[in-house]
Amino acid sequence: MSKRESVWLAGIDTPVRQSLDGDYRTDVVVIGGGVAGMTTALLLQQDGLDVVLLESERIGHGSTGKSTGKVSSLHGLLYQKLIERHGRERAFGYGEANQQAIDVVESMVEKMTQDCNFARVPAYVYTRDVDMVDDLRAEHEAAVTLSLPAHLTTDTDLPFDVELALRFDNQARIDVGPYMMGLAELFEAAGGTIFENSRAVDLDESLAGVTVTTEAGSVSADSAVVATLIPVFDRGGYFARMKPSRAYGVAARLASGGLEAVHINAGSPTRSTRPWEGSQGTGIVIVGEGHPTGDGTASPGRWAELERWGREHFDVASFEYRWSAQDYTSVDELPYIGRSPLSNRVYVATGFRKWGLSNGTVAGQILSDLLVGRDNPWHDTFDATRLGDLESIKPMAEITVSVGKHFIGDRLARLTSPSVEKLECGDGMIVRSDGDAIAAYRDSEGTIHGVSATCTHLGCTVQWNGAEKSWDCPCHGSRFGIDGCVLAGPATDPLGVVEVQD
């Protein structure tokens, strides 16, 4: 059985940094220790500002540490859509920003003592479906008009034939865990301060500055950057303009064969692949099986399907690791990076559409430029205060309708929830106990762990995630542990613990 751990975080020996305890004063406080927050903090510190970074768990252990480790401007079939929706200028800005982010990551790696296994490789989006060939040709035409390094080919390093592939040259892959540790070390060497296991629970903004509060202290600053996948302090209503989703990953050791480049297929189901240089030889990483957060289909079967596909196409010796991750996609396909609406001192970075290593690096550049008063060539492309195009109205309405259905329908479903006696060992569900509907999980020893079934963000009913053994909100993607603790925002308060009579 493979280990339930990201391949990029396995075996990394890093010092546990202290938690915030007391009150601090700094120039900028950054909330979130993923690639966007860590890059922003490092660049600001190098610009001469004093920066404190707050991370709710460990640096790089969120979605960044569970990514594919691709650093690329090839983001599926995206550029044709960007040109149609936003025009050539904004599509060009997105492509240029993400392409140059590869150079920025490489320059960071050159300064690190960590071995990140950074390598320049081609990236491919391919199809085995003849009906999608025209889509790849259209994407190629769009990419070429945007000056991206695009070529059409049928020759890849995949162990099967393709109908057509779009290749971007001079892309990269990296081991994410060591890279994040390297960023943290560079930041601290420049004089920055990191507090781990310090979840921000409140942010207050005034004319004089901002104050971020944790359970054990506070940080006062001139400005704050919220880089928490989705802003946990949401002044821009981003929760209503983005869709949360989860995807699954496995890492396999190969008996023979292997890959050099990075790949993703066009169409569904998604299969994203890349090489993995494991301690016991050559391997691959396979990511896919995505679904909306909290839709009830999260189960270990998602990993099993990736493993089945891997064995079908590769000479797999063993599967070593399995994990899952979450991300958000904006309704107009572009991330939100910049000053938060209705705020003068709070900045955000969110909506990376599963391409966080490049987009998060871009975010660090844009945000650091904004905070020190420099012009940035890509700020308008990613402007966090934008309202979106006309095409955004329909998906925003769909999000609102979906949330309404969950808010009402799931609450009605509570009325017919089974009794707690029906709960099997190792399973979780919404059950009734003493006449109330609760979220309950029965562990392998038969002990029941009960918490409130109502998400503390905006009141939707949480759903059981059988893969990660967590309670996930289908409305805006908040996640909670079996004890009710917050695993991921936008919620900041835990689910209340409920005593259960079996």
368 and 493 co-located in one domain: no
Residues 6+ apart with CB under 8 A from 432: 414, 417, 418, 419, 420, 438
- Of 388, 417, 436, which closes a domain? 388
Q: Which of 383, 390, 392 is nearest to 90 (CA)?
A: 383
Gap between the Cα atoms of 151 and 146, Å rounded: 13
List residues bridging with 439 in a β-sheet: 430, 451
Q: Tokens 């003849």 — which residue?
A: 130
- Per the structure, the count of domains in the chain is 2
Q: Per-residue DSSP letters for 309-325?
A: HHHHHSEEEEEEEEEEE
CA 302/CA 307 separation, integer angstroms? 9
Residue 44 CA to residue 51 CA, distance in Å, equals 7
DSSP-assigned letter for residue 240: G
Regarding whether 223 and 197 lie in a shared domain, the answer is yes
Torsion over CA of 272, 275, 279 and 282, rounded to 10 degrees?
Answer: 120
Estimate the crossing angle of helix 356-372 against helix 35-46, to 10 degrees: 30
Q: Give the domain CATH number at 368.
A: 3.50.50.60
Residue 144 forms part of a structural domain:
no
- Based on the fold, state whether residues 384 and 452 are members of the same structural domain: no
Identify how many contiguous H helices and E strands the chain contains and give both numbers: 10, 28
**229 belongs to a structural domain:** yes
- Inter-residue long-range contacts of 386-391, CB under 8 Å, 24+ positions, other chains counted: 386/332, 386/336, 388/241, 388/330, 388/331, 388/332, 389/85, 389/86, 389/332, 391/85, 391/332
CB 203 within 8 A of CB 346: yes
What local confidence, expressed as pLDDT, does residue 425 receive? 82
Residue 185 and residue 222 in one domain? yes
Residues 222, 339 within the same domain:
yes
Give the number of C-alpha atoms closer than 13 A to the C-alpha of residue 144, restricted to the C-beta side.
10
Q: Are strands 51-54 and 193-195 parallel, antiparallel or unpaired?
A: parallel
Residue 287 belongs to some domain of the structure: no
Q: Does residue 493 form part of some domain?
A: yes
Single-letter amino acid code for the residue at 314 = F
Cα(198)–Cα(195) distance, integer angstroms? 6
Please tell me whether residues 191 and 219 are part of one structural domain.
Answer: yes
The Cα–Cα gap between 265 and 253 comes to 22
Q: Are 418 and 465 in contact (CB under 8 A)?
A: no
Its domain, for residue 417, covers 396-498
CATH code of 429's domain: 2.102.10.10
Q: Which structure tokens are listed for 363?
A: 């975010």
Evaluate whether residue 489 is within a structural domain. Answer: yes
**Residue 339 domain-assigned?**
yes
Q: Output the 3-class SS for 24-67.
A: EECCEEEECCCHHHHHHHHHHHHCCCCEEEECCCCCCCCCHHHC
Q: Are residues 337 and 486 in the same domain?
A: no
Same domain, 356 and 432: no
- DSSP letters spanning 352-396: -TT-HHHHHHHHHHHHHHHHHT---TTHHHHBTT----GGGHHHH
Closest among 53, 19, 51 to 191, alpha carbons compared: 51
Q: CA-CA distance, 198 to 17, in Å (whole number)?
A: 10
Q: In this structure, are 372 and 491 located in the same domain?
A: no
Position 394 scores a pLDDT of: 58
Q: Are residues 344 and 435 in the same domain?
A: no
**Which of 341, 366, 388 lies at the terminal end of a domain, its last residue?**
388
Which of 388, 409, 432 is the last residue before a domain boundary? 388
In a domain? residue 309: no
Residues 383 and 439 in one domain: no
Q: Do 211 and 339 belong together in one domain?
A: yes
Q: Is residue 148 part of a domain?
A: no
CB atoms within 10 A of CB 30: 36
For residue 413, what pLDDT is reported? Answer: 52
Mean pLDDT per 10-residue section of the chain, whose length is 502 residues: 89 87 97 97 98 95 93 96 95 98 98 94 97 97 98 97 97 96 97 96 94 96 95 81 92 94 95 85 92 86 96 96 93 93 94 94 98 96 82 57 53 60 77 77 82 86 88 88 88 86 67
